[in-house]
Structure 1
Amino acid sequence: MNTLPEDPMILFSFINTKLRDNYASLDALCDDMHISKADLVAKLGSAGFEYNPSQNKFW
């Protein structure tokens, strides 16, 4: 995850923007960006964010 922002709030904004503008799902984003979905969900989860697949965003 070294190409992603380290700060959880910036990461939250970055990922949600990518999901909104470019990807139909978190799986598609992770596959395309070659990042671990589990690591991303854990990092954002530790900051209190949860992925909502029906809205395709973290909240």
Structure 2
Amino acid sequence: ILVDILVDILVDILVDILVDILVDILVDILVDILVDILVDILVDILVDRLVDLLVDIS
């Protein structure tokens, strides 16, 4: 019975740790992807504006 309880506790702890690690990794990946997308969009918009300005000037 004691062994059962210990195994249960260990499994719980391991699962918790694994889930934490997985969530961390997933969040990191998602943030990376989102930042990439946002930067792309911002750069696109800025380039468009710059081109517009240059065209206006000339």
Q: TM-score, normalised by structure 1?
A: 0.27
Which structure's residues are more often strand, by fraction? Answer: 1
Report which of the two has the higher share of helix: 2
Structure number with bigger Rg: 2
- If asked which structure has higher relative contact order (CA below 8 Å, sep 6+), I would say 1
With structure 2 as the length reference, what TM-score do the two structures score? 0.28
